[in-house]
Structure 1
Amino acid sequence: MIQLIFNQAPFIDIANVGNVDIIDPNIGDPATGFDDFCVGGTFGAYAITFTNPMGSTFTLMSSNSTPDIPYNVTFFNTIGGTGQTVTPGAQIPGNPVLDTMCDPTVLNTRFVVEIPFSIWNGRQNDGPFTGMLELMVQGQ
């Protein structure tokens, strides 16, 4: 009898993260944009952390040297699920891994970027705005 045992180290996979386009909203509405992406792997759960590599808060830089514009991030472990408000640099643990592997067709997770109308109002002409949002995923 031959017994074959395959041992594979647990892994986490993140893919399909793209740019977020924030659209000028209707009067009174927040300016928002979102990205659907994939988190997969062989861990049962994962933690995700969102940071701004340029500072301790979520901000976008304007193209005309006016003050930065702050924004909020909401994380959805499943598209269409309940969102969790993100604190910069704070881990959001205990998210179940929904797929083993990510490929270009797998989108199972979402984050939303939102600029409240009270902050966005009057700043439209300061754009375009640019910034960086870093995501770190760790298997649990």
Structure 2
Amino acid sequence: MAYWLMKSEPDAYSIEDLRRDRTEVWDGVRNYQARNFIASMAIGDKAFFYHSNTKPPGIVGLMEVVEINVVDPTQFDRESKYYDPKSLREKPRWHTVTVGYLETFKSVISLDELRKTFSPEELWVVRQGNRLSVMPVDDMVAEKLLHKIQAA
């Protein structure tokens, strides 16, 4: 099992939306490095749900990968901002995963708190200029985060 951090703006899709829906296709990823991370995910991997572009930004919950190699439907939707005219239904360019809700944390682990706790080498989300929406989380870092949640 691996750990990941996956970002979403809460006004687009929040941890509360996932709690309500129980599962969701994690669509709209259009960065090749993030796409490659998604391609390496396995069923049962855990992902920290990170609310971005909000005050304060931070980790708000935990989810689990429940389905892999899912064709991202937004690439074919002409009305979607994630539409990709080069993607063909017979040969899609963008695959993703379906995630399932596990828990909402009692308090946000804010970006400021993450910066105080982890170096940029330990946790990519604290790197200056990092804009990836999907990134790996080292097992030791994940254990520290989970311990911090349990202690709260």
More helix by share: 2
TM-score by shorter chain over 0.5? no
TM-score normalised by the chain length of structure 1: 0.29
TM-score normalised by the chain length of structure 2: 0.27
Q: Computing the radius of gyration over CA atoms, which structure comes out larger, 1 or 2?
A: 1
**Bigger RCO (CA 8 Å, 6+ sep):** 1
